[in-house]
Structure 1
Amino acid sequence: MKENQLASYHGIVSLLVGLLVIAVAGFGFFIGGVQGQAPAIGIGSLLMLTLAAFSLAGLYMVEPNQAAVLSLFGKYVGTVKEQGLRWNNPFYGKKKVSLRVRNFESGKLKVNDLDGSPIEIAAVVVWGVVDSAEAVYNVDDYESFVHIQSEAALRAMATSYPYDQHEDGKIALRSHADEIAKHLTEEIQERLAEAGVRVIEARISHLAYAPEIAQAMLQRQQASAIIAARTRIVEGAVSMVEMALGELSKRNVVELDPERRAAMVSNLLVVLCGERGTQPVVNAGSIY
């Protein structure tokens, strides 16, 4: 089922012609039928009045970014997209379909990510109808179809990625928003292809660990952050100690034997890697 453009007639002109015919037919029926001067004219005027009134049922209105899907006794005839008041065969059934861009936010879904951790996830989907015939005839209720299939695609996508990035170059839900949004958009579009719907954008609007593991995962993230920070501090401290020893040897400031060198390295590392400020002890020499 594909959309087929159908020509329509200007509704204002059709309305004026119909009203004019009704007025003439009404006058003829009054003269010929009510007053009895010409019964034949009265009968003809009555038939003309009935047909003119029935023809006005062919009028319908199409708003901007809206389409009217027309059918004749259950058979699809075509789609009209011209704006304003239009007229077609009064026997045509008419169903209005909005072509405007719409969006909705899915509910918070509880799913397991690639690592098996329970998470809560929700997404915002921006979509619009591009084929009115497919939207009306290929699915029963295209709006409900979009919502349900979007949530199904979101569930499928969430199980394909981990929540956090544990390895370099690996895509994760929290750290790769653009890649996840692109995958989610493609996943939803694939499911809605037969419904005449185009998915413009789909992005995650809510992402969090499930309440039962949120505290444990927070501690894990804090531990990872502490380890990363300590690793950076140790690397910097070792570089500074190495530079200090090199400069002392280069400038012949002091000659250190291995035992004193080890003690100096230990003291410098304590000062540089300690969480709190150190309290130096000054050696003033001996009185003996």
Structure 2
Amino acid sequence: MYQEKIIHPPSGYLIFFLFLIALAAGVLALVNAFYWTGSLVLAADLILVLPGLIINDPNEAKVLTLFGKYVGTVKSDGFFCVNPLTVKKRVSLRANNLNGQQIKVNDKLGNPIEIAAVVVWQVKETAKATFSVENYMQYVSIQSEAAVRHLANLFPYDNFEDEEASITLKDGAEKVSALLESELSERLDRAGIEVLEARLSHLAYAPEIAGAMLQRQQATAVVAARKQIVEGAVGMVEMALARLSEKGIVELDEERKAAMVSNLLVVLCGERNVSPVVNAGTLYP
């Protein structure tokens, strides 16, 4: 596997100045009817000098190969002169965003879900990106999708069915993103790619089970709310009976206590407002 070799070629301004002088000399020779001399000067100038001049923009690299052999990489920005026979391949060092497509995959429990991720990456080693893979941009796309699929298979969507799950795709966003970034870094290292950030951008149940899962979530929420209401109502009834007994306001036998508890629970736990009935007579027949 090729390792990146950084080279620092000389400035191209002097060579470009000499190129202009040779160009002027060749044209002058042609004007003065020195056709062979002028043609040779112009040919040498255009073939052997001009191709050796390169311009490197900021956050850009030129990978140089000579007769099939890797020569080095120019990462400095500016105007340079290199061997005119080298093949120069431009590689961008800027950060790239990969907005992954939504894919359907099964989570750890076999539930079909839709998932997608956003990956921020950049080329770190130009030699690997150029020579180790055929197309490093396509390689990033395919490996990112494979990593997202593998991650979805490791964890459940939520902990409704697996209460012992410490990490879920829905609630463990930070841990899941860290694991995704780690796996992508390992997969893309072969291509000399550095992963700057990786996060899930979309997560949902597949349409065929989304309705059923929504009903399950709603039922769970209703049960939890009812449980809290009942616990509060029982506490209030207990407090009411204790205060009545403490103050000695009224003496209730077990049957009347049961009736009072039943009425209070209906009032406190009911979904609708109750209509009170005023009893003007005695509590006892």
Distance 1:271 1:22 in 2: 102
Equivalent of residue 181 in structure 1, options 172, 177, 181: 177
Is the partner of 1:133 in helix, strand or coil? helix
Distance 2:12 2:249 in 1: 101
Query: Contact between 1:99 and 1:129, CA under 8 Å: does it hold in 2?
Result: yes
Distance 1:83 1:11 in 2: 12
Give the aligned length. Answer: 279
- Which residue in 2 is equivalent to 1:53? 46
Matches within 5 A, 1:80-119: 80-119=74-113
The structural deviation recorded for 1:33 is 2.1
The structural deviation recorded for 1:170 is 2.1
- Which residue in 2 is equivalent to 1:27? 28
Specify every segment of 5 or more residues in structure 1 that has no aligned partner in the other structure, as ranges.
35-41
- Which residue in 2 is equivalent to 1:39? none
Specify every segment of 5 or more residues in structure 2 that has no aligned partner in the other structure, as ranges.
none
- Which residue in 2 is equivalent to 1:209? 205
Distance 1:50 1:226 in 2: 85
Is the partner of 1:159 in helix, strand or coil? helix
Equivalent of residue 125 in structure 1, options 116, 119, 123: 119
CA RMSD between the two structures: 1.8
Scaled by the length of structure 2, the TM-score of the pair is 0.92
Scaled by the length of structure 1, the TM-score of the pair is 0.91
- Which residue in 2 is equivalent to 1:222? 218
Distance 2:200 2:216 in 1: 23
Is the partner of 2:4 in helix, strand or coil? coil
Distance 2:279 2:229 in 1: 28
Query: Contact between 1:165 and 1:175, CA under 8 Å: does it hold in 2?
Result: no
The structural deviation recorded for 1:30 is 4.6
- Which residue in 1 is equivalent to 2:18? 17
Is the partner of 2:244 in helix, strand or coil? helix
The structural deviation recorded for 1:284 is 1.0
1:265 lines up with 2:266 in the alignment: no
- Which residue in 2 is equivalent to 1:38? none
The superposition leaves residues 61-94 of structure 1 with CA deviations (integer Å, 9 ceiling, x where unpaired) of 2111111000101111100012132220000100
Query: In structure 2, what residue type is equivalent to 1:16?
Result: F
The structural deviation recorded for 1:4 is 0.7
- Which residue in 2 is equivalent to 1:37? none
- Which residue in 2 is equivalent to 1:282? 278
Equivalent of residue 199 in structure 1, options 189, 195, 201: 195
Distance 1:245 1:198 in 2: 69
Is the partner of 1:227 in helix, strand or coil? helix
- Which residue in 1 is equivalent to 2:8? 7
Query: Contact between 1:64 and 1:83, CA under 8 Å: does it hold in 2?
Result: yes
Distance 1:272 1:210 in 2: 40
- Which residue in 2 is equivalent to 1:73? 67
The superposition leaves residues 151-198 of structure 1 with CA deviations (integer Å, 9 ceiling, x where unpaired) of 000000001111112326621111121111111111211110111111
Is the partner of 1:219 in helix, strand or coil? helix
Structure 1 residue ranges, 4+ long, deviating more than 4 angstroms after superposition: 28-32
The structural deviation recorded for 1:60 is 1.8
Query: In structure 1, what residue type is equivalent to 2:228?
Result: R
1:233 lines up with 2:229 in the alignment: yes
Distance 1:169 1:161 in 2: 8
Query: Contact between 1:72 and 1:92, CA under 8 Å: does it hold in 2?
Result: yes
Matches within 5 A, 1:132-147: 132-147=126-141
Report % sequence identity.
52
Farther off after superposition, 132-141 or 245-254: 245-254
The structural deviation recorded for 1:259 is 1.4
Query: In structure 1, what residue type is equivalent to 2:258?
Result: A
The structural deviation recorded for 1:26 is 3.7
Query: In structure 1, what residue type is equivalent to 2:97?
Result: N
Is the partner of 1:82 in helix, strand or coil? coil
Farther off after superposition, 234-243 or 45-54: 45-54
